[in-house]
Structure 1
Amino acid sequence: MKPQPAPNANELMTAVPHTVTPEMRLADVIAFLVRHDLASVLVARNENSKKELLGFISEGDCLEHLSNELFYGAPMPIQTAATIMKRHPLCVTTDTDIFALSSIFVSHNYHYLPVIDGKFLVGMVCRSDVLRLLDEYYRRWVKLREDERTSIDVHEIMNHRFLVKS
């Protein structure tokens, strides 16, 4: 019996992640994060009923810009999602397998990864979901290995050892 293929991002992504628009003001982005109990949010623009991914904003980005604004004074122009976001976030596709996802999460210490199809956002993958699915995959793999084990026939081994060819 062969093991099942490794799961991929399509099997565990959240299909409709929270997004903000690039025009949203910093204060509104912070209110959005607090209201939805999020640590980060994607910035996207609607294009023909699809969402074009533009960037990524974390709580840390908001802290930095809000504290700078409070300490140094209000910048001109007013800060928006477009002015504070990190552009070109690391993304994955729906067919990125669980081992590649694990590697990215470990190497970069990310908690979330956007899932894209071309330039359009199709979902979001969470590190804890990858861990959960990888654990399930591991448990199926261990069970498969245990099911394949058979009892050793000591007589057969001994007979092979003492066969003499003439």
Structure 2
Amino acid sequence: MGIKSFMGKRAAPEKPAETPISVRDYMTEHLVTFTESENIMDVMEKLIKHGISGGCVVNEKMELLGMISEGDCVKEISDSRYYNMPMSDLTVGKRMVKKVETIDGNMNVLEAARKFTELKFRRFPIVENGRLVGQISQRDVLRAAIKLRGNTWTY
């Protein structure tokens, strides 16, 4: 006489939903951008109004030309005062950083965290097919870390 099981059919264990871990999943797509011809004073107003510390400089095709930050604006204030120069004719194109480090939207967001610590940047633009498609900031990486905690890595 064989042993009978009274457990019945078991359902396959539910596979937890995969937590998104790419930069693309956490990047900001709706960006405040600047143009080369914008005045530095207008940039300062936009930075304050939107509560951001900097942003991408693009052309009409959304091609990335550079970055402008609070630090760039503060330097301009300091230089203008020191040299007694008016700021009314100063444009983003004259002050922006033209050599910009970008990262791939498919990069793992935790790898992006390592890149932030290595390069000491506050934000990285994401460019696809020559066009700016988003930006990831240190704050975005923090949001990702909170969401990923316990799912794919531990403290």
- For Structure 1 versus Structure 2, the TM-score category normalised by the shorter chain is 0.7 to 0.9
Cα gap change, 1:116/1:142 in structure 2, threshold over 3 Å: closer, same or farther?
A: closer
Distance 2:40 2:34 in 1: 11
**27, 31, 44: which one aligns with 1:30:** 44
Structure with the higher strand share, 1 or 2: 1
SS in 2 for 1:141: coil
What is the CA deviation profile of residues 82-131 of structure 1, one whole-angstrom value per residue up to 9, with x for unaligned ones? 11000121111211111320111111222211111132100011212212
User: Greater helix share, 1 or 2?
Assistant: 1
Structure 2 length as normaliser, TM-score? Answer: 0.79
Q: Which segment drifts farther, 29-38 or 81-90?
A: 29-38
* Structure 2, unaligned runs of 5 or more: 1-14
Q: TM-score, normalised by structure 1?
A: 0.74
TM-align CA RMSD: 2.6
In the alignment of these two chains, the number of paired residues is: 140
Percent of aligned positions that are identical: 24
For structure 1, the 5+ residue unaligned runs are 144-166
Contact 2:57 2:67 in 1 (8 A): yes
The offset of 1:41, in angstroms, is 1.6
Q: Aligned AA for 1:7?
A: I
- Structure 1 residue aligned with 2:130: 119
CA deviation map 1:29-71 (0-9, x unaligned): 1111112121112111112xxx111111111110101221122
